[in-house]
């Protein structure tokens, strides 16, 4: 597997070192810490089109750069909006916040470290005081807006609610073992298991760290081999690249075998497991 004037695939792997790519595992109390699979293949730049991936393919013995539409990428996630009610303790974090929340994995710890004065009174009166907030009253009256990511299994409150008030109220409610009903509408996202299976039927999906130098070397090596592939970014907050290698292309499958032997992350398998083990919004 070589090209006349450049790296072989083996040399490329040696040059770029260990290849495993680790997906973001930190579960901070802000929704941006969750891998945004609902945006997979959904380009932000004006030139990009949802579901269209950049790739290179041999067509009539000519090497072509192209953007090809992938139905399973365009339908990768399932979105549902429905009414929801639950306990205040079901809320794990916020979609946005003016506070720096990175490194906090639960609201209880956040309020203990930053606002201990708000949780001094562990009593019914203390809970009533904590809940006496205009923004909290909105979600208690039925007008709350929530987001739930099935692959993450956590509920986030959407909006600019003061997180310290929310954290204090749910902390005191937990200590009192008292349910506080919250309700409104929930926007739920799930990865489509059907789409994942469709992609895996036709492609090997491998993930590597995003690097301009690696991408350049990889494209050159693949072109010299006459091997087809497509690529798309791993969704935020990750910085990675997904390589899709067509299973009907022997050269591409030979490359896939070499990458797998180099411990490149099998993203297809990861997504199969993830999509098969998703949760649904908790209900009281």
Question: Going edge to edge, which strands form the sheet with 240-246?
Answer: 62-69, 52-59, 229-233, 240-246, 203-209, 265-266
Which pLDDT value is given to residue 198?
Answer: 98
pLDDT, tens digit, for every residue of 165-218?
999 999 999 999 999 999 999 999 999 999 999 999 999 999 999 999 999 999
Side-chain half-sphere exposure of 84, counting CA atoms within 13 A: 25
pLDDT, tens digit, for every residue of 117-153?
999 999 999 999 999 998 899 999 999 999 999 999 9
What pLDDT band is residue 1 in, cutting at 50, 70 and 90? very low
pTM: 0.90
Which pLDDT value is given to residue 2?
Answer: 39
pLDDT average, residue stretch 49-53: 86
Helix or strand run (H / E) with residue 166? helix 163-176
The residue with greater pLDDT, 22 or 228, is: 228
* DSSP letter, residue 278: -
Dihedral angle over CA of 275, 26, 43, 50, nearest 10: 10
Q: Cα(217)–Cα(251) distance, rounded to whole angstroms?
A: 17
pLDDT of 65 > 90? The answer is no
Which structure tokens are listed for 4? 């006349």
Highest-scoring range by mean pLDDT, 18-32, 34-48, 166-180? 166-180
Say if CB 10 and CB 258 are below 8 A apart: yes
DSSP characters over 176-244: HT---EEEEEEEEEEE-HHHHHHHHHHEEEEEEE--HHHHHHHHHHHHHHT--EEEEEPPTT--EEEEE
Say if CB 168 and CB 111 are below 8 A apart: yes
Q: Chain-wide mean pLDDT for the chain?
A: 90
Within 10 Å of residue 192's Cβ, how many Cβ atoms? 17
DSSP characters over 10-31: HHHHHHH------------SBG
């Amino acid at each position: 597997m070589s090209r006349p004037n450049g790296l072989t695939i083996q040399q490329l792997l040696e040059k770029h070192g260990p290849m495993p790519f680790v997906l973001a595992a930190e579960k901070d109390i802000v929704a941006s810490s969750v891998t945004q699979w609902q945006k997979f293949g959904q380009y932000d730049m004006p030139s990009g089109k949802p579901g269209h991936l950049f790739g290179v393919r041999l067509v009539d013995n000519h090497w072509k750069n192209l953007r090809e539409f992938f139905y399973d990428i365009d339908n990768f996630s399932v979105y549902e909006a429905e009414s929801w009610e639950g306990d205040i303790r079901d809320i794990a974090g916020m979609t946005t916040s003016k506070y720096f929340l990175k490194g906090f994995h639960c609201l209880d710890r956040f309020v203990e470290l930053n606002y201990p004065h708000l949780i001094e009174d562990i009593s019914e009166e203390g809970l009533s005081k904590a809940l006496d907030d205009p923004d909290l009253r909105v979600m208690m009256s039925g007008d709350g807006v929530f987001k739930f990511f099935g692959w993450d299994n956590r509920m986030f409150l959407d909006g600019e609610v003061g997180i310290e008030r929310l954290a204090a109220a749910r902390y005191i409610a937990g200590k009192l073992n008292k349910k506080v009903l919250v309700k409104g509408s929930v926007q739920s996202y799930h990865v489509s298991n059907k789409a994942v299976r469709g992609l895996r039927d036709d492609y090997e999906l491998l993930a590597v760290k995003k690097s301009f130098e690696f991408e350049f070397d990889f494209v050159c090596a693949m072109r010299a081999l006459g091997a087809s592939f497509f690529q798309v970014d791993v969704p935020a907050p990750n910085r990675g690249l997904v390589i899709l290698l067509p299973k009907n292309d022997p050269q591409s499958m030979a490359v896939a075998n070499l990458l797998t032997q180099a411990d490149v992350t099998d993203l297809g398998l990861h997504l199969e497991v993830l999509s098969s083990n998703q949760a649904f919004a908790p209900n009281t």
